[in-house]
Amino acid sequence: MNPPPAVQATDLSKVYGSGDAKVVALDHVTVQLPPQRFTAIMGPSGSGKSTLMHCLAGLDRPTTGTVLLGGTETSSLSDAKLTASRRDRVGFVFQAFNLLPTLTAWENIVLPLDLAGRRPDQAFADAIIDGIGLRHRLGHRPSQLSGGQQQRVACARALITQPEVVFADEPTGALDSRSSADVLGFLRRSVDELGQTVVMVTHEPTAAAYADRVLYFADGRVVGELTEPTADGVLDQMKHLEKVTA
Ligand SMILES: Nc1ncnc2c1ncn2[C@@H]1O[C@H](COP(=O)(O)OP(=O)(O)OP(=O)(O)O)[C@@H](O)[C@H]1O
């Protein structure tokens, strides 16, 4: 039997504005994202990828439909409970790293635990620190680290609480190819070796090829998927979908 999904959206719609200004960002989306897997979400600009991720993560509320995160329906939680759910169950990685400049790398990594009044699980923290390969830089501030190193610290911060899901929105969008490979390799190992669950929005076929499964979006809907992707396979599928959805 398949394990229950880490996160599941059912008939999710998100509508912004009304009348002439109405935008249907999500159009009856149903997706299940399995635990301990790496899922990539791709699609043209404006197709609804970020909106989906924000609704799945509880950063935004859908107009209609439901989100189940680790078995809890988050779409109907009060604001306070939704905030607590985000803090306890979800990790985020953004394109712009978003580290706190006055804290060291280590202080940034454990910040989510400090905010929740929790202590690090030492064995897990060690695995994370070894995973990002920055043990010798833990006392450095973000300004003393390269972009790729900062993003690996941001990934470690997202994972340190052992969340149900880590959501990464274009995590390699600001990085060169070498730094991207370091970040993506770490996210991949966090799934394979630490049993974590990663969902990543990306525009880059080489980045999507690190995932177990790629979901393609267009006009607020899932229009295709690819399992065990290669960069060439992702590109071919993108070209094919561009033709059929044009
Ligand atoms: N707060 C908002 N108010 C009004 N419209 C919005 C808002 N946020 C997003 N949209 C619209 O919803 C649609 C989907 O946006 P979304 O950011 O989810 O797309 P995306 O696929 O992530 O795009 P990109 O790849 O450019 O980041 C777009 O048409 C966008 O203009």
Confidence of residue 238 (pLDDT cuts 50, 70, 90): confident
Kindly give, in sequence order, each residue whose CB lies less than 8 Å from that of residue 112, ignoring residues fewer than 6 positions away.
87, 91, 157, 160, 161
Q: Is the CB of 51 under 6 A from ligand 1?
A: yes
Confidence of residue 216 (pLDDT cuts 50, 70, 90): very high
Q: Is the CB of 18 under 6 A from ligand 1?
A: no
Residue 63 inside a domain? The answer is yes
Q: Is the CB of 23 under 6 A from ligand 1?
A: yes
Count CA within 13 A, CB hemisphere, residue 241.
22
Residue 38 inside a domain? The answer is yes
pLDDT digits (tens, 9 = 90+) for 23-58: 999 999 999 999 999 999 999 999 999 999 999 999
Residue 2 inside a domain? The answer is no
For 211-230, b where at least 16 C-beta lie within 10 A, e where not — what string? bbbbbbbbebbbebebeebe
Q: Which atom in ligand 1 lies closest to the alpha carbon of residue 14?
A: 12
31 vs 54: CA distance, rounded Å: 14
**According to the model, what pLDDT value does residue 241 have?**
85
Q: Which atom in ligand 1 lies closest to the alpha carbon of residue 43?
A: 21
Residue 78 inside a domain? The answer is yes
Any idea what the CATH number is for the domain that residue 64 is in? Answer: 3.40.50.300
Q: Is the CB of 91 under 6 A from ligand 1?
A: no
Show the beta-strand stretches assigned E in the chain: 7-16, 23-33, 38-42, 64-69, 72-73, 90-94, 165-169, 198-201, 213-218, 221-227
Encoded tokens for 24 = 């249907």
Residue 164 inside a domain? The answer is yes
ipTM for this prediction: 0.96
pLDDT digits (tens, 9 = 90+) for 138-165: 999 999 999 999 999 999 999 999 999 9
Residue 1 inside a domain? The answer is no
pTM of the model: 0.94
For residue 28, the enclosing domain spans 7-245
What is the CA(26)–ligand 1 centre distance, in A? 9
70 vs 201: CA distance, rounded Å: 20
The number of folded domains in the chain is 1
Q: Which atom in ligand 1 lies closest to the alpha carbon of residue 53?
A: 18
**According to the model, what pLDDT value does residue 1 have?**
66
